[in-house]
Each structure stands twice: as C-alpha cells, then as structure tokens.
Amino acid sequence: MNVNRTTYKYMLFTLSIMGFTTVLAGAFGAHALKSVVTNDALDWWQTGTLYMMFHTLSGICSILTFNSIRIFKHPTLYFILGNIFFAGSLYTMTLTSIKALGVLTPIGGAFYLIGWGFFTLYIYRNLKLTP
C-alpha cells in the first residue's frame, strides 16, 4: 500500500508535534533539569533532544521529497519510530534513572539507520546523471 494523502497528513502532524516537543525538551533540559539530575543523565537528555530534532527535520524533508512509496519503505516512518525509541528511551532514563531502558536506545538507532537507508536508496534511484 502506497502512502496516501491522509497518511502523509498524519505523518506531518506527528512530526510537527515532535518538533514542538523537541524545543520544549531542550528548554526543559537546559533550565529545569540542570540542577536536578546527574551530568550523565543530562547528557542523555541532550543527546535525545539533538537526535530527535535532526530526525524530525529529516522526516519532514522525506515527506516533501518522496511520494508514491509504500508505507513500510518510507523513510519518515522509520524516523518517527527512531524518535520514539531512541529519544524516548533517553528521556525516560533521565527522568526515572531506570538504566535498563537503555536497551531500547539501539533499537531507535536501528530505525534511524533504516530510514537513512531508504532515503539514500530513493535519492540514488532518482539521480539523473548527465555528462
């Protein structure tokens, strides 16, 4: 099933919420968490925020660039899942100190890599190299 217009709208809506959340998380980490959590935990928070913003913007770019792609091969799906698992696990670890949640972080990283793999594949397939 190719991505239809409604699915695109939901993905864009999800990414806009993620962009908003990223800015909010950055401000929260810089002001509210700084004096409450350890330096390691603050590093986790900052890493989650950085990666979430990069991949939120990448998801928006891939939605605007690619159409007529099957939903399970669309880079945006994997950028969204990566944000949930990667940044979500780092945020949760920071707030709860449950380090066992760190097993979810590489799953998010794998989703990011799958998204970038599809992104690269579609760019390569659509390159028109002329002498």
pTM for this entry? 0.90
Query: What b/e readout covers 11-42, taking b as 16+ CB neighbours within 10 angstroms?
Result: beebbeebbebbeebbeebeeebeeebeeebb
Classify residue 2 by its DSSP letter.
B
Q: What is the rounded CA–CA span in Å between residue 67 and residue 27?
A: 34
Domain segments of the chain: what residues? 5-126
Tell me the per-residue pLDDT of 43-87, one tens digit each, with 9 for 90 and over.
999 999 999 999 999 999 998 887 777 777 889 999 999 999 999
H/E element, 51: helix 39-65
23: Cα separation from own chain's centroid: 13
Per-residue pLDDT for 130 more than 80?
no
